Structure 1
Amino acid sequence: MATDSPVKCRRLEGKVALVTAATAGIGLATAERLAQEGASVYICSRKAKNVDDTVAALRSRGLEVAGCACHVGSAEQRRALVEACVQRYGGIDILVSNAAVNPGAGPLADTPPDVIDKILDINIKAAVLLVQEALPHLLRRPGASIVFVSSVTAFNPPEPIAMYAISKTALLGLTKGLAAELGPRGVRVNCVAPGIVPTKFSAALVETPELAAQQAETTMLKRLGRPQEQAAAIAYLVSPDAAYVTGETLVVSGGMHSRL
């Protein structure tokens, strides 16, 4: 859980951040980084025990973190999540939409309807609806910001995860559309597209040393990424340092191909 080196900047003092799917991988690293920079961070995940364990671990290090269980595909649970965050910390300045699923792999032409439905429901629909739920609170806070977590695979969806990758392509468009709508209302909207980061979610891509080496070779830096590197990019985008940045997707992939 520890970062590579101590974080000394405190760009997010007094801010409240809501981070979904934040008990492992990139979401956990993001929650940790935002809290280290001074934010009060509210996290969620589907399993209450994972949330409780993560909150306890981060609070034991002096970070201001709370959270609750939430399945982002449930309207009732999304509403309860936002209400719990606001009740705990008084508002929301930052929303990091990180939750995603990939329930199946294989050729697009053979992808079952139920797999398509679940990917679209969680990776796109729930992301839009969570923004709708949080937006009244974001609009009350000067300098409010939204970040979607996409993927470098969004630019060139590969088999066998093409359906998942296409859902991440949609987030690039969602970022542009919402940024145009919400910019005049004072809310910035950006996106991060991580490269291959060894986490539980991406385990299939790096499950053997040979596969991991193949993935590393696709980067210009010849190595895989770390969750903390994605978290640093997200922290920049939600900070005052990015006050004139909106509608952008920041690719953090070690130089992998990233053009539509």
Structure 2
Amino acid sequence: MSAVVTGGTRGIGRAIVEELAGFGARIHTCSRNKKELDERVQQWKAKGYQVSGSVCDLTSRTQRQELMQTVASLFDGKLNILEDIDVCIQSMFGPLMARTPIRPIAEPDEISPLTAFLCLPAASYITGQVIYVDGGFTSSA
């Protein structure tokens, strides 16, 4: 197993890196912040995870192409791309989040297990589904 997780040094991206690496996947991640990236990669390697990283700003088409070339060479062209998910600020969605039965905002490690599962062979028969990870919000609407 191998995966690319963009924005893997913080929040949900970081939790996804750790979840997949915990299953033995080889991970390549990227970040705009070199210092933060270097610190995280060092922490992950200390845990025995197979994680590499590169500094990039994915708003640039050139940098996205460079990242894909780097990843293709690292993983022999075999990869799954997981886009970084931005965590919303609670004050922006206060009225909606107040209707969420479990709690207003999920922690990254509450979302990353589903992401990791969907990358595993065990989920290979799951297609065309919408899986809500929303603390019961949709069921209470």
The TM-score bracket by the shorter chain reads 0.7 to 0.9
Tell whether 2:103 aligns with 1:218.
no
Tell whether 2:115 aligns with 1:230.
no
Gaps of 5+ in 1: 1-14, 101-200
Pairs aligned (count): 138
Distance 1:38 1:242 in 2: 17
Distance 1:85 1:218 in 2: 41
Distance 1:255 1:248, change over 3 A: same
Deviations 1:225-260 (A, max 9, x none): 2211211010111111211112323211111137xx
Deviations 1:25-57 (A, max 9, x none): 000000110010110000011222222121111
* TM-score, length basis structure 1: 0.48
Q: What is the percentage of aligned positions where both structures have the same residue?
A: 30
Considering only CA atoms, is the larger Rg found in Structure 1 or Structure 2? 1
Deviations 1:186-226 (A, max 9, x none): xxxxxxxxxxxxxxx43x3159xxx6xx7764222246422
Q: Give 1:99 deviation, angstroms.
A: 5.6
Deviations 1:31-84 (A, max 9, x none): 110010110000011222222121111111111100101211111111111111
Cross-structure match for 1:255: 136
Cross-structure match for 1:241: 122
Distance 1:222 1:42 in 2: 32
Work out whether residues 26 and 51 of structure 2, in 8 Å CA contact, stay in contact via their aligned partners in 1.
yes
Cross-structure match for 2:82: 96
Gaps of 5+ in 2: none
| Residue of structure 1 aligned with 2:44, choices 58, 66, 86 | 58
Cross-structure match for 1:28: 14
Work out whether residues 72 and 99 of structure 1, in 8 Å CA contact, stay in contact via their aligned partners in 2.
no
What is the root-mean-square deviation in Å for CA atoms of aligned residues?
A: 2.3
Distance 2:114 2:96 in 1: 21
Cross-structure match for 2:2: 16
| Residue of structure 2 aligned with 1:44, choices 7, 17, 30 | 30
Work out whether residues 21 and 44 of structure 1, in 8 Å CA contact, stay in contact via their aligned partners in 2.
yes
